[in-house]
Structure 1
Amino acid sequence: MHPLITWAVAHPWPTAGITAAALTLLIATAWAAARAARRLALPPGSILMAGLGAMVCTAYSADTSWRFAEHRLGMADSTERAVMFAAGELALLACAVMARATKAATATDTAAGTTGVPGVLVWCITGVQIIPAFTESGLVGGLVRAFFGPVMAGLLWHLAMGLEIRVARPEALSTGLPAVIGRELRERLLSRLGLATRDRTAEQITRDRATARAVRLAALLELRPGGPLAGSRHRRLAAAVARSGAGTNGEQRHQLLQQLAARRTSGQLATVPLASPWTGTPEPGAGYPSTPLGVTGEYLRRMDPLAAIHRVHSAHPDTSPAELAALLVEYGVPVSETQVRVATRAGNPERPPAPEVPAPERPALNPVPARVPSAGLELDLTTSPVVHPDVQYRVPVFAADARPLRIDVRIPDSADDTEPEHTAAADEVPDSDDEVPEGDQEVPDPDPLIEQVRAEHGTQVPGGIKAIRAQYGVGQARAQRIRHALTLETAP
């Protein structure tokens, strides 16, 4: 039996202690390794898988190199072959790592960087390692060995190292010589095939091609309307127009007519008047005026008017909107005060105070002489239980149908037969200039003229008091008494 086992059996307690200590140390080591692995920033799973595949393909390529070194390079010694056979694989891995470092060193904010010479050497080594694959296994076997060996190793190392620019930065373009040549060839091929315009459907591409064909055939028919091919050209022109959809699509018809007009009038380009580029050209460095006002105005005129307002307002924060608008106009930016107020949120201008209008002077009114209150006028307004017929059904439809309010006034009999002076109408007020005739100063009572007036005119004298005065030559007071006496006779 082994001496160590014999000692462990002979000394169980020390063996148990040593075993427990070893297990504890092993667990602590595993726990520390797990924590360190969690702290590490591991690459994504896709990069790990690409690296694993690259190592397997590199080993596949190394097997081909091992056999090629023995059969073709004369390395019979195993030690010599073990040291030398993997030179290509190691060089491939070294160039891939150097290409990654070069790419990281040349990367900027706007470019993803280039791999430089190491990136080119990666593909050169891959191409050289294809030769041993075909040499060892022939055409078919060599194709398999070359594809799964050096070619896939180079591609997977290229992806695992992050050397693919489109993966590192999709918006960046490669500046290498092969990439530039390939990009130019691709663009020229697409332009030759009529596919240079992007975002077009297959139907639109067909319409554009038919439009171009119709323009070319129409131009040929204009130049050579006759000839043996005229009928064929007419048929092809009709087919091209129908295929272009110009009859139903207004935009396509406009494009067809514009292209045809440009082709037909292309001869006018030789006589188009153009301004000479040799006259009126500013001197180099004199594009801007030399004064500060001119430089600032040229800068502001290139901006949007609102942006120019904000820029000038930030430089002159204490300027009023009117002064700011005037300053911008001096710089050559035509803006109004209203635009400045809207841009700076200054609000509407304050309204000027209304001028004080003096109160109109009222003319002094002459004092109205006090009228002596007349005595003896009595208005006897009596009520009646029966509504008057004129107002019983008073519902006027129009304002013209409304009748004036009627007031019945009854003057009671007085012991004095003389009528007070205030009972006269407004147009019958005695004039102060009238003189009382001498015959009216002493008139007997009753007045003998009453009978004469009654006999000639009855109780109603046309013209009233004025007619009595004019006809009989009496004064105002006597005419009033005559009329009063006649009125009493007609009263019920």
Structure 2
Amino acid sequence: MQTDRIMTWAGHHPEVAVPTAVAGALGVAVVVWLLQRRVSRALKGWTPAPAQRAGIAGILLATGLEADTAWRFAGNRLGISHPLERGLLFLVGETVLFTFALMARANLLNEEKRRAGAPGILVWVICGALAVPAISESGSVAAAWVRVLFGPVAAALLWHFLMGIELRSSLPSAQSMGTFSVLMRHLRERALSRFGVIEADRTAVDMARDRAVVRAAILSERYQTASGRRQARLLRRLRKALRTAGVAGDPGRREALLAEIATSRFAKDLGTTPVDSPWADTTAATPAPAAARTRPRPVSLPVPAQRELEADDEPRTLPANASTTHEPQGDRPMAVDTDSFFSTSDLTPQAAVETRAERERRQAEAQRRADDTYAKAVEVVVELVQQGAPLSGPQIAEQLPVGPRTVQRYIKRMREEGVLPQE
């Protein structure tokens, strides 16, 4: 073997072998020392948790078992006999597995993707490929199971959880948007809905009683059309369903049972029930009454009064920053009578609808401005808290279009919403 030849040559030439071995050992020690310093600097201030330490140890052991399998497979099956060549190539599968794991983690940390994507799938593909050498180098089924399970499979699982590739472990509230994840989520919801357990906030007793109410309504219909022994059997089942539903002591379920029976009994009347056409124009203007269509006769006014009236008839526009709602202006809110301002008594129905829409639009715009002001106040207050500055109403009001009192109300709201700690 190549190793025996090297040892024989070293025994015959000790003057060359010993310095070479010492220099090689020193070189390896220097490389290890440099790597240890680099890793220590990178992990400065980071203390791994016990679970992380155990995971790292498990990954090293699983990778070691993979390395043993790969070394044997490269020599026995791939015909790579040279030690240097085998040492450079036998960990190619493990390197590819680790690379895809890093790429999957990068995709998961991307705010736009939020899923491992193709690298996450390829991790398991490479894991399956690494099972082939483990099976090939095993002499029995049990040995193959051990090499596969505690080799590539264990390494892939530990990388999966330790690096945070499992979305539900790193972000419990997030949901994977991958095709397979979405498909499995829909299948799970459909299965739960089929068995009537889709609502997680209800107990099993409540769901059983609700199903018993529906079952009792169905049995009551069948009982009306049955006869003989079948009728007696349906009556026993109906009584059992009523006891399970608990309608005797629950008025709500009793009303639900009667509603189910009534809905089923009068189902034939559904097609003849009068309904409004969905294509009818409900906003179309209706003819105005005769009194409304009659215009008063013009009255002659003096010239100054006529000019004043004409000036009042000219359309007036509100300033861009004006508001029709009670939006805070400084410390005192400006009260506006929106009902009289948007009065629709002298308008046609079509104009009244348009006026109401305009009022709703203005109110929505005012609410949006108020929300923007509050959001800006939150940013200012959070910045002051981070700087350690006191929360002064006048100081904050200088940066906002509101007064100190409004700022105090904003701070109180932030404490109620949990943005700021309670006093």
Q: Which amino acid aligns with 2:73?
A: F
**Cα contact 2:197–2:207 (8 A) shared by 1:** yes
Q: Distance in 2 between matches of 1:292 and 1:40?
A: 67
Structure-2 residue corresponding to 1:19? none
- Alpha-carbon offset, residue 128 of structure 1: 2.1
Shift of 1:121: 0.7
TM-superposed CA distance for 1:122, in Å, is: 0.7
2:111 matched to which residue of 1? Answer: 107
2:162 is matched with 160
The superposition leaves residues 345-374 of structure 1 with CA deviations (integer Å, 9 ceiling, x where unpaired) of: 9xxxxxxxxxxxxxxxxxxxxxxxxxxxxx
Instruction: Give distance in 1, aligned partners of 2:118 and 2:78.
Output: 28
Mapping for residues 108-187 of structure 1, pairs under 5 Å? 113-137=114-138, 138-187=140-189
Q: In the alignment, which of 326, 332, 335 is matched to residue 340 of structure 2?
A: 326
1:315 Cα deviation after fit:
11
- Contact 2:326–2:336 at 8 Å: present in 1 too? no
| Alignment partner, residue 484 of structure 1 | none
Equivalent pairs, count? 280
- 2:70–2:91 Cα contact (<8 Å) kept: yes
**Structure 2 CA distance, aligned partners of 1:136 and 1:252?**
67
Shift of the alpha carbon at 1:142? Answer: 2.1
The one-letter code matched in structure 2 to 1:200 is R
How far, CA to CA, are the matches of 2:91 and 2:163 in structure 1? 20
Which structure's residues are more often helix, by fraction?
2
| AA of the residue aligned to 2:105 | R
Percent identity at matched positions? Answer: 34
- Residue 281 of structure 1 deviates from its aligned partner by 8.2
Q: Return the match for 2:200 from 184, 198, 201.
A: 198
Could you tell me how far apart the structure 2 residues matched to 1:79 and 1:292 are?
Answer: 91
User: Residue in 2 aligned with 1:69?
Assistant: 74
CA change 1:329–1:56 in 2 (3 A) is farther
Change (3 A) 1:131 1:188: farther
Aligned partner of 1:414 in structure 2 is none
1:212, CA displacement in angstroms?
2.6
Aligned 8 A contact 2:167 2:176 in 1 = yes
Distance 1:128 1:95 in 2: 14
Q: Is the 8 A contact 2:209 2:244 kept in 1?
A: yes
Counterpart amino acid of residue 63 in structure 2: T
Please say if residues 57 and 149 of structure 1, whose CA atoms lie closer than 8 Å, have aligned partners that are also in contact: yes
Post-superposition shift, 1:328? 6.5
Name the counterpart of 1:90: 95
Task: Give the match for residue 326 of structure 2.
Answer: 310
Change (3 A) 1:37 1:97: closer
Aligned to 1:247: 248
What whole-Å deviation, never above 9, does each CA across 1:211-258 have from its counterpart, x for those lacking one? 232222222223x23265222111111111111211222222222222
In the alignment, residue 216 of structure 1 is paired with which amino acid?
I
Tell me the amino acid that sits aligned with residue 132 of structure 1.
P
The one-letter amino acid paired with 2:243 is A
**Residues 185 and 135 of structure 1: CA distance in aligned 2, closer, same or farther (over 3 Å):** farther
Are residues 1:217 and 2:219 paired?
yes
Structure (1 or 2) with the larger CA radius of gyration: 1
**SS at 2:173 equivalent:** coil
1:260 is matched with 261
Letter in 1 for 2:66: S
Q: Deviations over 1:254-278 (max 9, x none)?
A: 2222223222233333223333333
Paired position in structure 1 for 2:367: none
- Give the Cα–Cα distance (whole angstroms) in 2 for the partners of residues 203 and 232 of structure 1: 25
Q: Separation in 2 of the partners of 1:160 and 1:188?
A: 32
Q: How far apart are 1:279 and its partner, in Å?
A: 3.4
Q: CA RMSD in A?
A: 3.9
Q: TM-score, normalised by structure 2?
A: 0.56
Equivalent residue, structure 2, for 1:382: none
- Is the CA contact 1:309–1:328 (under 8 Å) kept in the aligned structure 2? no
Structure 1's 262 and 74: CA in aligned 2 closer, same or farther, altered over 3 A?
farther
Measure, in 2, the Cα distance between the counterparts of 1:248 and 1:274.
Answer: 37
Residues 126 and 263 (structure 1), Cα distance of their counterparts in 2 relative to 1, 3 Å cut: farther
> In the alignment, which residue of structure 2 is the partner of 1:406?
none
Deviations 1:78-112 (A, max 9, x none): 444333322211110010111122222x215xxx7
Which residues of structure 1 form unaligned runs of 5+?
1-28, 283-290, 301-307, 335-343, 346-492
* Structure 2: gaps spanning 5 or more residues: 1-33, 284-314, 345-354, 361-404, 407-423
AA in 2 matched with 1:93: F
Contact 2:104 2:116 in 1 (8 A): yes
What's the offset of the Cα at 1:164? 1.6
Question: CA 1:318/1:229 → structure 2, altered by over 3 Å: closer, same or farther?
Answer: closer
State whether residues 99 and 163 of structure 1, in contact with CA within 8 Å, keep that contact through their aligned partners in structure 2.
yes
Q: What amino acid does structure 2 have at the position aligned with 1:163?
A: I
